[in-house]
Amino acid sequence: MAPNRKTLPQHKGTSLPDIHTLSHGQLVAFMEELHQPKFRASQIEEWVWGKNAHTFDEMSNLPKSLRDLLSQHLTIGTPKELARQISLDGSRKYLLQFTDGVSAECVGMPTKNRLTVCASTQAGCGMGCTFCATGKAGLARSLTASEIYEQVRHIGDDFHTRVTSVVLMGQGEPFMNYDETLKALRLLNSDKGVGIGARHLTVSTCGIIPGIKKFANEKEQFGLAVSLHSANQATRNKLMPGVRKYSLLYLYDVMGEYVDKTGRRPTYEYALIHGVNDTDTELDALCDFCRGTLAHVNLIQLNEVPGSPFTPSTEERANQFVQRLGSVGVAATIRNPRGADIDAACGQLSQAYTKC
């Protein structure tokens, strides 16, 4: 007798539930409906999350009868690669399409014995940062935990190596998709999944204060980066209108609370834009904001976006920022640009693909 699927999520029409959306409890209950032992649920999860199986037939330690039943009642949603670009420096950028047709970008950045993935938490972004290609396109929707996770698995499979660290610094604002972002981090951290250490998993936020407060109370030692881009309120409002309501004074206070609670050092991301946030006045404000705090400033050479009025600062100016910050006791580094010869900035590959 066929199971009635009462334990599975119900979908409109004839579409079957994606196994990625099932909790462990739901999968155990479904095994009971199928008159299968409970341990089958763990075996299936190992294939789905640990081995990144694309079909139920790959699950060779399951009876064929069970594999057939799973195929009748569930699907395994896997993203489709719409585009891939390979840089001379070895980094690879991907545009992945999910089962509903929505797409998002992710990047794999190899270094010696390491592979870092930059993944997206949303398809598009609603924050409207004026220097970002993603912000111009707007927000399509937030991604599920499994869709965030699958970006990492896709890149690991393409490089044929284990991913060693992940930054959720691609398209979207992670804290506007908080619950799914945390689920994805925990999947990536889990031994059943990729098994990446919590300190090698970092979330980058534009400065969503409620999200930072909540994140500080999570038990895991996940990393936090904040896109600052200016410590002058007027300049930051122009560059990052989506966080206008969260003042720098409020951000300063909440970051102090974050450090006190976690003992971890956050990173401030700062994309240097010629004549906008790289002036002496802006540098003074940045030094004042960071002085006396536990923080690291990551200076970024701005990726030029076609049609944008913004251009990157010079390397000489970036080095001056490092030296001045160092003189007030603030550690700062210049991020090594990756993928400069491809559509490296967030949103560029999506725009290039849609124009084709």
Helix, strand and coil content of the chain, in percent to the nearest 5, comes to: 40, 20, 40
Residue in 45, 105, 180, 269 annotated catalytic:
105
Task: Give one DSSP letter per residue of 321-353, joined into a string.
Answer: HHHHHHHTT-EEEEPPP--TTTT-STTHHHHHH
Contacts 24+ apart (CB under 8 A), 257-263: 257/213, 257/216, 258/212, 258/213, 258/215, 258/216, 258/224, 259/293, 259/294, 259/295, 261/216, 261/217, 262/216, 262/221
Q: Is 105 a catalytic residue?
A: yes
Place of tokens 């009462």: 6
Place of tokens 């109370």: 217
Q: How many CB atoms lie within 10 A of CB 313?
A: 22
Q: CA nearest 270: which of 223, 245, 235, 306?
A: 235
Residue type, 37: P
Q: What is the DSSP letter of 246?
A: S
Q: Are 308 and 279 in contact (CB under 8 A)?
A: no
Residue in 125, 206, 290, 346 annotated catalytic:
346
Distance (Å, whole) CA 324 – CA 328: 7
Number of helices and strands in the chain (H, E): 12, 12
Q: Is 346 a catalytic residue?
A: yes
User: Which residues are catalytically annotated?
Assistant: 105, 346
